[in-house]
Structures are given as C-alpha cells and as structure tokens.
C-alpha cells in the first residue's frame, strides 16, 4: 500500500495557453486582463519579432522596448520604466527567453502591472515568482507573488528558430529544475510526477531535434517539458546545483544555460550518493547512475561538458568553491569547501561522474 506523507500543494494562479500559432491570441489575452495599452519587450536579437508582434496588436500596443539583457541589469530596467511610463502602457508582453521575462518581472514588481509572457527558450522563468537582478556587479534574487506572470502563452512555432546548441543547453537548464525538485524539502507528489514526465519528454524530443531541428512535434514535446520544469521551479526551493550556477554566473559571468548544462551531471551525482532513492527517476530515465546517465545524455545531444571551455581557470575554481560555501545552504547532502572544489574540478575537466 502507498504510504502517503503529509504535503502542501499551493496552486499557481498563472493562466497557461499551450499550442502552435498561439501568438495570435495575445490581443485577446490583453483584453481578457482588462488592458488596452501593452508594451512589448524583447532582447535586441529578437527586436524584429517584438516589432512584428506590436504591429499585429495594432491599437492594443503602445510601443516596444527591445534592450532586455542577461541577469536583468537595473539600469536597463530603469530605462524600460521611463519608456513604459512615457507611453502610458498598462501591461507588458514579454517575448523571449529568461532575459526578457526577467525585464517584464522587474517592471511588474515596481509598478504592479500585469504580465503576458511568451517564452521562446526552456530556461523556465515564466511560471515562477523569482527575480534575479544585477546592480554594481552584484546579483540579488528575491521571491514575491507580484513577480509571477498572470498569463503565459507557449507557442511552439516560436521555438523552431532556437539554435540547436541553445536548444540543448536550455533544455538541460530546465532539467536541472526538476532534478532539484525531486529532493526539494517542500516537494509534493505532483512535483515528482511533473519531474518524471518532463525528463521523459526531453529524453524523447531532444535526440529527434539533433537531426531535424524543425520537427514541430519534437519542438512541442520539448516545450511541454519546459513548461513542466518551469512549473516545478515555481513551486519548490532549489539547492546546491542552482547555488553553484549562480556563483559561477554571478561571479565569473559564465553563460547561464551552458553553466547549468555542464554542472548538472556533477551536482546530481554528488547528491545521488546521499539520496539515491529520491534521484532514482533520473537513473531510470537517463542511465546506470543519475550523474553518469545525465552526463551520457549531455554528450549524446552535443551539449558542452567542460567548465574549462567557458574560460574559467583553476584559480577561479578555488574562488568559486570559497564563495559557494561561505553561507550554509539547504541541500540533501552536507558539503564543505573541499567537496565543492573537487566537484568543480571534475566539471572543469569534463570527467564522467561515477555516481
């Protein structure tokens, strides 16, 4: 008989539309929220897409701001706020990956306006109440209900243009959310279900995209997996893996998705040694061990495997190990500076984890 422990399942109020061609529903969603003056946000790279969307929205859109950047720099948020207020906008439409979604959240938390988010990577910011911002080279992260977007529109057509390398690293970034969800102290049975489903969908979809990046069915499957991963991230707290990624990203400016992709097999293997039963779904889906299986999968999909290739030196690893162990951090396995230094060394060299 199933022994069910106590758990809490807080509902996430975000409205989700999933499909292909759903970009056409943005106007109706703006009106549904009671608004009529949207500002469309993007990075410079996706500016043309933002402008095309603004044109389609016609009278429902009062402008675009296309300067979103990685790690949500406060100076850019301030410039966006000037544009937002100047245009008398009443909501934001964030079209893009985690950088653009971060800018929308930063505007919303300062003005209390509604957000409609159209994610085009698998990074997974859209379903969360988390915002990380940088000011004077320091990244600070906070959680607040006002940060969580009101509406998320997944349109798998928009992921067809995601370059293959970014597709793979962004997917591993997403998988990291559910791997940590499996051992999160505030997890519940639905989190575990979503985690398994997400890993299976990525495992099925990503190898197809390797040889056929325009396969819409595989794009749909992987975006569905991305939604599940983002939802898990929106529900539970993260541990060692995310801490190390923030340390490297914030302290050494390593690229977000690549850092997650490279570290994941190592952090999963490290924790699997302490809680193998909680990480059993990872082993079942990816291979003989949690860390080894994830490393093999990353290799299969041509994802980067070595921190060395991100420009980090061994002296940087010393500093990173120090930074990541300065304050105690919730994790299923206890660790000290030497443990983390060794883990980083293995990831730097690209050694396949044994566990």
Q: Which stretch binds ligand NAD (CB under 6 A): 16-24, 80-88, 90-98, 263-271?
A: 90-98
132 is a site residue for ligand NAD (CB under 6 A)? yes
CB of 29 to ligand NAD, least distance (A): 20
**Smallest distance from the beta carbon of 234 to ligand NAD, in angstroms?**
8
Q: How many CB atoms lie within 10 A of CB 145?
A: 8
Query: Phi and psi for 14 in degrees, rounded to 5?
Result: -60, 135
Q: Is 162 in the site for ligand NAD (CB under 6 A)?
A: yes
Is 260 a binding residue for ligand NAD by CB under 6 A? The answer is no
Question: Which is nearer to ligand NAD, 114 or 155 (by Cβ)?
Answer: 155
**Which is nearest to 152 in space by CA: 209, 114, 196?**
114
Question: How many Cβ atoms from other residues are within 10 Å of residue 182's Cβ?
Answer: 25
Structure tokens given for 347: 């990831």
We find the least distance from the C-beta atom of residue 4 to ligand NAD, in angstroms, to be: 29
Residue with Cβ nearer ligand NAD (206 or 355):
206
The b/e string for 86-113 (b: 16+ C-beta within 10 A; e otherwise) is: ebebbbbbbbbbbbbbbbbbbbbbebeb
Residue 25: CB minimum distance to ligand NAD, A: 18
178 contributes a contact to ligand NAD by CB under 6 A: no
Helix, strand or coil for residue 86? helix
Q: Is 161 in the site for ligand NAD (CB under 6 A)?
A: yes
Q: Tell me whether residue 135 or residue 161 sits nearer to ligand NAD (CB atom).
A: 161
What is the residue whose two structure tokens read 């529900």? 235
Rounded distance, CA 162 to CA 178, Å?
A: 22
User: What's the rounded Cα separation, in Å, for the pair 153 and 151?
Assistant: 7
Cα 188–Cα 269–Cα 124 angle in degrees, nearest 5? 50
Does residue 257 belong to the site contacting ligand NAD (CB under 6 A)? Answer: yes
| Shortest distance (Å) from residue 254 CB to ligand NAD | 11
**Both structure tokens of 245:** 């990624």
Q: What share of the chain is helix, strand, coil (3-state, %, to 5)?
A: 55, 10, 30
**Judged by CB under 6 A, which stretch of 23-31, 92-100, 108-116, 236-244 contacts ligand NAD?**
92-100
- Checking phi first, is residue 21 left (phi over 0); if not, alpha (psi -120 to 50) or beta? left
User: Which listed range, 9-17, 33-41, 161-169, 187-195, lies at the site for ligand NAD (CB under 6 A)?
Assistant: 161-169
Nearer to ligand NAD, 39 or 272 (CB): 39
Asked if 136 contacts 184 with a C-beta cutoff of 8 angstroms, the reply is: no
| Residue 326: how many other CB atoms lie within 10 Å | 9
Instruction: Closer to ligand NAD by CB, 132 or 292: give it.
Output: 132
Q: Of the two residues 128 and 247, which places its CB atom closer to ligand NAD in the complex?
A: 128
Q: How far is the CB of 6 from ligand NAD (least distance, A)?
A: 27
Nearest 10 degrees: CA dihedral of 195, 251, 128, 4? 40
Q: Which residues from 33-72 bind ligand NAD, rule CB under 6 A? A: 43, 45-46, 70-71
Shortest gap between Cβ of 45 and ligand NAD (angstroms)?
4
Told to check if 215 binds ligand NAD by CB under 6 A, we report: no
Angle between helices 240-252 and 337-349 (to 10 degrees): 70
Choices 31-39, 55-63, 119-127, 303-311; region in contact with ligand NAD by CB under 6 A: 119-127
SS3 60: helix
Piece of 30-38, 122-130, 301-309, 328-336 that binds ligand NAD (CB under 6 A):
122-130
Q: Point out which residues bind ligand NAD (CB under 6 A).
A: 43, 45-46, 70-71, 96-100, 102, 120-121, 123-125, 128, 130-132, 158-159, 161-162, 166, 170, 233, 256-257
């Amino acid at each position: 008989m199933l022994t069910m422990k106590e758990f809490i399942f807080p509902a996430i109020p975000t409205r989700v539309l999933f499909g292909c061609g759903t970009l056409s529903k943005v106007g109706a969603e703006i009106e549904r929220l009671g608004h009529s003056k949207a500002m469309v946000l993007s990075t410079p790279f996706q500016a043309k897409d933002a402008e095309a969307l603004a044109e389609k929205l016609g009278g429902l859109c009062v402008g675009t701001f296309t300067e979103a950047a990685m790690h949500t720099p406060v100076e850019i948020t301030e410039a966006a706020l000037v544009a937002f207020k100047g245009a008398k906008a009443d909501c934001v439409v964030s079209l893009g990956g985690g950088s653009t979604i971060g800018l929308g959240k930063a505007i919303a938390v300062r003005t209390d306006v509604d957000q409609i988010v159209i994610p085009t990577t698998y990074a997974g910011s859209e379903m969360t109440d988390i915002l990380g911002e940088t000011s004077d080279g320091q990244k600070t992260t906070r959680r607040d209900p006002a940060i969580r977007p009101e509406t998320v529109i997944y349109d798998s057509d928009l992921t067809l243009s995601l370059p293959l390398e970014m597709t793979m690293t962004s997917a591993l970034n997403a998988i990291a959310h559910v791997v940590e969800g499996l051992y999160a102290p505030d997890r519940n049975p639905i989190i575990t279900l979503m985690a398994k489903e997400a890993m299976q969908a990525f495992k099925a979809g990503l190898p197809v995209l390797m040889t056929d990046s325009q396969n819409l069915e595989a794009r749909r499957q992987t975006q569905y997996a991305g939604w599940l991963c983002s939802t898990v991230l929106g529900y539970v707290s993260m541990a060692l893996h995310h801490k190390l990624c923030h340390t490297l990203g914030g302290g050494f400016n390593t690229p977000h998705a690549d850092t997650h992709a490279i570290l994941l097999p190592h952090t999963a293997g490290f924790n699997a040694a302490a809680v193998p039963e909680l990480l059993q779904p990872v082993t079942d889906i990816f291979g003989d061990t949690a860390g080894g299986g994830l490393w093999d999968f990353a290799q299969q999909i041509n994802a980067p495997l070595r921190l060395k290739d991100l420009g980090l030196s061994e002296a940087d690893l010393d500093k990173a190990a120090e930074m990541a162990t300065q304050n105690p951090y919730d994790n299923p396995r206890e660790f000290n500076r030497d443990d983390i230094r060794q883990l980083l060394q293995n990831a730097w060299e690209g050694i396949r984890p044994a566990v």
